[in-house]
């Protein structure tokens, strides 16, 4: 089993390729990294340096196509610039077959705010990628951006009684084709629980886990990598989300860091095994 992971490599933040490589490898999956940029730290830190390696996306496509390589999975995450999104689309077109699961994590923002990579042009390009995907994993802010909704208003509504119905309606609108699954991550259902909504070919399910109100950098990236792994090893999408949510829960609960920028201490959980027995 082999996955091409198109993402950046950040020195601090435990996100992107660090998450992809460690999580998928621990699930028995070979990871072929396609580094879009190398950063001293993820962009939430007060200061960082970014080295552009985005030409690697087209080089990997050409080299690997010439070598006759193939992938059971393709995972795409944070896009440092718009240009990368075009190359990622070409990469997906070159390698996606009926036997390839394409997971697109439309990384654009969180908590009602957009990351520094966000622009209207970026949104249009990510929408194109989303339309090709088998699975997408937006958080609520990203779902709203994809649907043309105001994230702040939807976040407020999400706390209300019919919040989840409203999110299901928005997710159904964003869904691009009948076989696509949308997993809306990190919905604050109430003060004690966090929910992941799965809108899939057979309906919609909400999977809830206990929460402690803290949020950390990189959990979306860990979620995407663990979800794709769980799907590739044969779990259906709802079971895969349950196992993945349990992994994130254990990682967050085992984290001591006060600064969200440093991410969660998921290393301890990998040691126990993702989706394994507690």
Which residues of the shown chain bind ligand PXL in the complex (CB under 6 A)?
Answer: 8, 10, 15-16, 39, 42-44, 78, 107, 115, 217-218, 220-221
CB-nearer residue toward ligand PXL: 14 or 200: 14
CB-nearer residue toward ligand PXL: 164 or 269: 269
Rounded Cα gap, residues 46 and 211, in angstroms: 27
* Helix 140-147, helix 163-174: angle, nearest 10: 50
How far apart are CB 202 and ligand PXL at their closest, in Å? 30
How far apart are CB 69 and ligand PXL at their closest, in Å? 25
CB-nearer residue toward ligand PXL: 141 or 229: 141
Tokens standing for 220? 């979306």
3-state SS assignment for residue 101 = strand
What is the maximum span of the chain, computed from C-alpha positions, in angstroms? 54
Instruction: Identify the burial level of 47 via C-beta atoms within 10 angstroms of its C-beta, where 0-12 means exposed, 13-18 middle and 19 or more buried.
Output: exposed
How far apart are CB 108 and ligand PXL at their closest, in Å? 9
CB-nearer residue toward ligand PXL: 47 or 277: 47
Task: Give yes or no for a contact between 258 and 269, defined as CB atoms under 8 angstroms apart.
Answer: no
How far apart are CB 14 and ligand PXL at their closest, in Å? 9
């Amino acid at each position: 089993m082999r996955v091409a992971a198109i993402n950046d490599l950040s020195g601090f933040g435990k996100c992107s390729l660090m998450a992809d490589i460690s999580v998928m490898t621990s699930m028995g999956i070979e990871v072929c990294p396609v580094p879009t940029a190398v950063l001293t730290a993820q962009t939430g830190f007060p200061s960082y340096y970014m080295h552009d390696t985005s030409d690697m996306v087209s080089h990997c496509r050409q080299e690997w196509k010439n070598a006759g390589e193939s992938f059971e999975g393709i995972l795409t995450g944070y896009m440092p610039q718009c240009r990368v999104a075009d190359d990622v689309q070409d990469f997906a077109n070159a390698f996606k077959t009926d036997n390839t699961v394409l997971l697109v994590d439309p990384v654009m923002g969180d908590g009602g705010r957009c990351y520094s990579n966000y622009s209207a042009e970026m949104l249009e390009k990510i929408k194109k990628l989303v339309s090709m995907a088998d699975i997408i994993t937006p958080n609520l802010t990203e779902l709203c951006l994809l649907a043309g909704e105001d994230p702040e208003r939807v976040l407020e509504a999400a706390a209300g009684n019919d919040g989840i119905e409203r999110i299901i309606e928005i997710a159904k609108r964003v869904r691009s084709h009948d076989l696509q699954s949308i997993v809306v991550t990190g919905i604050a259902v109430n003060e004690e629980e966090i929910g992941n909504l799965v809108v899939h070919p057979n309906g919609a399910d909400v999977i809830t886990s206990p929460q402690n109100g803290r949020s950390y950098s990189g959990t979306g990236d860990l979620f995407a990598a663990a979800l794709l792994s769980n799907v590739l090893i044969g779990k259906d999408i709802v079971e895969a989300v349950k196992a993945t949510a349990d992994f994130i829960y254990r990682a967050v609960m085992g984290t001591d860091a006060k600064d969200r920028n440093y991410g969660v201490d998921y290393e301890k959980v990998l040691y126990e095994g993702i989706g394994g027995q507690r």
